[in-house]
Structure 1
Amino acid sequence: MIGKRLNARYQLDQVIGDGGMATVYKAKDVILDRDVAVKVLRPEHGNDPEFIRRFHREAQAATSLAHPNVVSVYDAGEDKELHYIVMELVEGQTLKKYINENKPLSLTKVINIMTQLTDGIAHAHDNNIIHRDIKPQNILIDNEGTIKVTDFGIALASSSYTITHTMSVLGSVHYLSPEQARGGLVNEKSDIYSLGIVLYELVTGRVPFSGDTAVSVAIKHLQGEVPSPRKWNPNLPQSFENVILKAMARDPKYRYKTVKDMQLDIETALLESRRGERRFVIPTIDEEHTRAIPNITTEAQLKRMKKEQQPMKPNNKKAFIFFSILFFLILSTVFASIVFPKILSVNDVDVPNVVGMNEAQAKIVLNKYDLQLKTQEVYDNTVPVGQIIEQIPNADIAVKEGSSIKVKVSLGKKPIILDRFVGQTKESIEETLSQLGITNYEFVEEVNENYPENIVFDQEPGFGERFSLETDVLTLYVSVKQPTFPIDNLIGLSQEDVYRYMNDKNLSIIHQEQYSDTIEKGYVIAQNPGFGTEVERGTEIEVVFSKGPNPNQPITVYKEIKINIPNQSNNETYDIQISYSDANHENSLFISETISETTTYTVPLTINPNSTGSYKVYINGNMKDEKVFRYEDEKNR
């Protein structure tokens, strides 16, 4: 398939994803000159009308969605029985891979990811589309941190397979809702359950249910209790765990009503007002009522009950029915005339003032007046988080008991979208943060060789992410220069001492060795850089250690030559010549002179291993002496 061009437009370049239903290629749209992703239905499904119909339905569903957190679908078509969907190419990775590489994630990052993810799913639900296969493998995160939901409708196209049919389905079973596992009705709340599992994995780095087979995992969804995420992440606030437990309630009626409700609970999970929150527990209701059965104590009672159970005669039965209806109508009329006016009469109450209270306080106050509380959460730059901003009706207005009082509850200041601070100086960023009203920030200094000193090289949360002015903390990483220090004098130190010094100073050693006649084996002969040079941590230091004397190096011996002159009183003279051969000379003249008395000469001979040195003595032109010296003999003297 690589190199194939679909409908003379989409050039398939490389495989970037593969599943049981389709293969995804990076491709080139040669008409619009842009990179795209092309999903091609596997050939083995190309003749299955059900697969084709559902594959097309996926394309239609995704095409109807236009949201920054949903992968855009550009086109769909068929080329010689190859069915394909053309989508936006996302440069990044799956959320599954991101979790594996970055766990544990900070709660701020988790909130950012889940806010984007729930935005995308909520948009789908608003368009009457249920994803049915939400899992980190179907969620992409691009290089800028933007979340993209993909693979809408895959679960539908795979529904003709059992949960143990393929490994791709086995992967999905970890995120199935109980109703999907039992083959029941799937709706928006099924997606909410799957979102709860994704959130579980984001805060713990693992899925709640695992097993050897898909069936064993599905059974845990149906029967097992959700393992507490705080078991794996003890620092997780109870408010966060409550979001997971509510989203993953086995009975859909106890889950969030909408994805937006879940999103709001996530975004407010770290608010001060939610500290000390009690653990979410699904209420248990005893739906079975005990019915009283009369005791039968006498034979007369037994006979009377049997008689009552005997069928009536036809005439008596008709009369009984007629008089029963008549009696019921009369009784109903009397009851209505006496009771209904009292029931239909509802007392008026004056609405109390709940502005400035939190939601819990307002409920207590309104319950005293038999009034209901209906909340709407909004951002407000002046009212603290959790406080009621306004109410409708206003205080002191008369309403009927049981009426609903609508209130707006403050979410605090509206989050801002963070600028890109990477590449800026610390001072310029501080000025920008002041203008934006960001006071919760910190600078962390770290050595970074790729950035100049005092320049920010990373930020958390990242560029383009939402940032709460009240609850979030902005961390900015600033590049600092590596500190330097003078290196010690290492010459004469032992190898053990040198390596200890290098480890203490976090220096890297380049170990070299050479022979030395003066420095003991294992001790330092030389170093580079030299003593006192300023170096940084991590600098490579070249250290030369002694190997001791070279066992095979040349030796130099000194040979004395004594020339005796007889009858020195006669003043006779003698012409003396001495020549020598060694490692550096060949029959070279050592001395040539005339003497009249006994004289001693010292000849230096440098002899290589397995070689010799020699000298010759000439008196008046005649050779009088010659000696040869072997390396081995001289070395062992």
Structure 2
Amino acid sequence: MRTGYTLNGRYRIIRSLGEGGMANVYLAHDLILDRDVSVKLLRLDLRDDPGTVRRFQREALAATELVNDNIVQVYDVGEENGMQYLVMEYVEGTDLKAYIKKHFPIAYQEVIQIMEQILNAVKTAHEHNIIHRDLKPQNILIDENRVAKITDFGIAVALSEHSLTQTNTVLGSVHYLSPEQARGGMATKQSDIYSLGIILYELLTGTVPFEGETAVSIALKHFQSEIPSVRDIDPRIPQALENVVLKATSKRPADRYTDVASMADDLATSLSPKRAGELRFRPAENDDGETKVLPASALSAAAVPHAIAKPTGEETAEAATKDATAANDQSTGKKKRKKYRHPRRRKFLIAGGIIFLIILGIFIGMALFRPQMTNVPNVVGDKETAARSALVSAKLKVGTVHKTSSATVKIHRVARTEPRSGTQLKQNTVVDLWISTGPKRYKVDDYQGDSYASTAAKLEALGFAVHRESVHSTSVPAGKIMQQSVLAGKSVVPSKTDITFTVSTGSETVTLADLTNKTKRQAQSYATNHNLNLAFQYAYSSDVDKGCIIRQSPGEGAVVQEGDEITLAVSRGSQSESSSSVDEFSVNVKIPFDSGSTDDESEGDDESSSSASSSSSDSNLVQIYLKDQDHSLSSIYKQMTITADTTVTLPFAVASGKSGAYKVVRDGHVVASDNHVSKN
């Protein structure tokens, strides 16, 4: 489909979004409703295949029945020039597979939030008796607000449509395939639950449980091999959370959750402290009727009665021959029997003795040359010297000594051995030691300016106790971190560290009072109390006394933010009171910002660094004084806060031939002044 083509006179193709085995997906614009949509178009090489067309139409039917915030909505279904197409909601974001790759490791709470959305969508599908059959991260979209949406019901099937099930045909992606589907059986709701368990496994570990060179080898692992433990990959994962994975991915559908709602309820409480001591989930033992391999002894025992019951023709003939020989021997005399049977018996005895001696020699040789075995002693928790002595006493050699962090084993003590304790080894085998360096330490970053929500979630997942203090700020956006209690660059043990963030709530709002007829000093006092900046203009007025406010902008009752500027017009009195001509002009003055940085100071200990950090400022208080016909240097003309270098325009009104003056004070220090300001 080329860019710019308008499908059905309504959907203009913008660009390709991706290609699949059954259809291609394009970004398009709905010219009628003026919105972006996704258009799924059946591939040209498949449009004459009745099975593919039926699957495509089934997706349309399945998706239009489902209305859920976590399912991609289908807007329109149609056909043009023999091309089947679906028009769906456009989700701006990425699929869950790419999201895991980009954001792993993902905080456990976020994993649960994503899974709860997916479970909510699958629950809606199951309530409509629709099984997805191809649940995988590639079919789950994550938008910019981290909302998960399931798409691609291309192989979904209603439970009543048994005729659509293909015998000996496996549909779906093999990495997320349930054991019953891998065997070619019919998919059920428990098959979707198995796929959901694999998705949860991937969210927690960043990888799928089974890999292989071919799809067949992966499918075999799904119904032959146990799911690897997620706690072996990440020991911090609570047992209750791993149990959700284990129960959802049980080999027998009967051992899985009865429905998606049960899985969602179990997942919601998996991080609860009440489930901290939960035991590992183990499915009930049950003979499922599969083919078993019998031992050779059983086969032999079964074969004997069969041979007795039905002798072959050869065996019958042999028996008859033996009977005839026996009759002949009896008719010959006793001497003849003694003459010919005695040597045979002696040969048998000699042969038996030789065989006995050979077997006896073999046993003696095995006893003499069999390697001496020993068990690896349990030295976990012992000091290195004690562990070495224990290994030597067990007739083992000490191999490489490694260092590893451990939250449970004290520093300088053995955290583990390889091979593990209790393993039976040949004597003089090498055993490696891992010595604890104590709990794993984490280097704290500088989080100032970062979002509190994402930062807190990340640190809590690492084990930090995170606290929040909220303050108003005119210079820092709401939700951003202004200060942190633990200095950046410091290495700490997360489980033993509390960190407090000072977080901006943004500027506080102010409802303006009526300042008209107030004196300039009263207006300045009001502005100081409410953290507002004032700008003055001057005009002649016969109705308002000189030095009082004529009007204000914004007006009374307006809602403004702290730090906003309010413009006040001040009366000069009636024009007749001015006996001489007045020169009016403006002067631009640049006010430098002082960040209070201490980079040039020598390094000190943590305490001195903390005090230096607290002295830095993110804003300056500036007071401007003017001297002209309307102002005196003894009173403030304008007060403001700045967060960067700022240029202000100062208006002057002086009698002809006279000069004015100004003075700029920043945080109590004069930073600019001029006592001879004139028009020329």
Smaller-chain TM-score bracket: 0.3 to 0.5
Query: What TM-score do the two structures reach when normalised by structure 2?
Result: 0.44
Q: TM-score, normalised by structure 1?
A: 0.47
Q: Which has the larger radius of gyration?
A: 1
